[in-house]
Structure 1
Amino acid sequence: MMTGNSLRNTVAGLFVRHGSPVSPIYAAKAGLGVFATMILLGLLSESVELTVLIAPFGASAVLLFGHPASPLAQPVNIAGSYLLGVVLTCGHMAWFPGSSLAAALSLAILMILMLMLRITHPPAGAIPLIAVSGEAQSIEMALAVILGASVLTALALLRRTVPPRSNPDPGQPELVQPASAVFDDGVSPND
């Protein structure tokens, strides 16, 4: 049974902020990047008459501009995970149209491949769920995701050139660690 102090400490631990403090300039740059990305995707949606402004791209933009040093926000992760998600989803939807089985299978295989290829980008996991919701036909969804992911990848590369390039977390490197790096838990990614 929990005592009053241990319960209080447990509850208080739920509200601890884990991110490093950032400067107002860094936060403004991140906010402007997200704003510009969503405007660009919205304009692209209107010009090509496809729904390119989808929820996973909002989550990608937050990672890309708010946490650019994160391994989850690297250009190869963005492009690779969305491409894999589209290919798997279109394939499974052809075999099991509109089926939750197709979404579950696509997402499970996508997760396995993202981990194995070291290109994990969590927002891409929403692609199979968008497809099964019936919001778009497979080819339309594929084109929209490829266009949007291309814009996000280009912006991820461009973001690295816009000052200030300082990282909000001085303990984190600006670039992704090589595969031979040992993580905080002492386990190598090759283990």
Structure 2
Amino acid sequence: MNYFDKMKGVKRSPPLVNLSEIFWSWVGAFSGISSVAYVHYNLLGQTDLVMIIGSFGASAVLIYGVIESPLAQPRNLIGGHIFSAIIGVAAYQLFHSHMWLSAAVAVATAIAIMHATKTLHPPGGATALIAVIGSQKIHDLGYLYAVIPVGLGAVIMLIVALLVNNIPKSRRYPQFWL
């Protein structure tokens, strides 16, 4: 097989998702993101802490939309975000004078560590990158970034996933914990 033939794909597109699955994915994503955003805007609004980061949007797709995926399980959600946050902060602190290098080291190392720890969660790559390219408010948090917003936000979203994803009889979350 030639190199470009590999890019043709080997499978057909998956079937459409049923309306019930769409509904519960929406309810979960709305509930999870609104919970994290509520804490951000109403409980931490008067502090220098941040609670909501862009990578949580991608986590919502996984933990409310494709709940059977290994990438959506609690170990991956929590571990992937926290490991990536720590790596992102370290990369920024070591290489902030060369942002291109800091960004690349953060994402690539986060992926390697998530693989090595069985916590692969694609939004973790964004969490690492946000630690590098984020605002001064993010940089001022230092390693606290791994606790608030990352750890606490991921835990809030996990609690919502446990509650919402198990309401319908057709859904079961999680598939595994460890």
Under a length normalisation based on structure 1, what TM-score does the superposition of the two structures give?
0.72
After superposing on structure 2, the runs of 4+ consecutive aligned residues of structure 1 that deviate more than 4 Å are none
Aligned match of 2:18: 23
Do the aligned partners of 1:85 and 1:124 also contact (CA within 8 Å) in 2?
yes
Instruction: Provide, for residues 82-116 of structure 1, a one-character-per-residue CA deviation record: whole Å limited to 9, x for no partner.
Output: 11011112222222236222221121111111112
Q: CA deviation at 1:146?
A: 1.7
Q: SS of the residue aligned with 2:52?
A: coil
Instruction: Provide, for residues 148-174 of structure 1, a one-character-per-residue CA deviation record: whole Å limited to 9, x for no partner.
Output: 11212222333443223347xxxxxx7
Aligned match of 2:95: 96
Distance 2:140 2:68 in 1: 33
Distance 1:166 1:134 in 2: 36
1:157 maps onto 2:162 in alignment: yes
Distance 1:165 1:51 in 2: 36
Do the aligned partners of 1:131 and 1:138 also contact (CA within 8 Å) in 2?
no
Q: SS of the residue aligned with 1:145?
A: helix
Partner letter of residue 161 of structure 2?
A
Instruction: Provide, for residues 113-158 of structure 1, a one-character-per-residue CA deviation record: whole Å limited to 9, x for no partner.
Output: 1112221100110122212224222526432112211212222333
Which structure would you say has the larger Rg?
A: 1
What is the alpha-carbon root mean square deviation over aligned residues?
2.7
Distance 2:58 2:134 in 1: 21
Do the aligned partners of 1:77 and 1:121 also contact (CA within 8 Å) in 2?
yes
* Structure having greater relative contact order (Cα 8 Å, sep ≥ 6): 2
Under a length normalisation based on structure 2, what TM-score does the superposition of the two structures give?
0.77
Distance 1:138 1:155 in 2: 29
Which structure is higher in helix share?
Answer: 2
Distance 1:144 1:166 in 2: 28
Aligned match of 2:116: 116
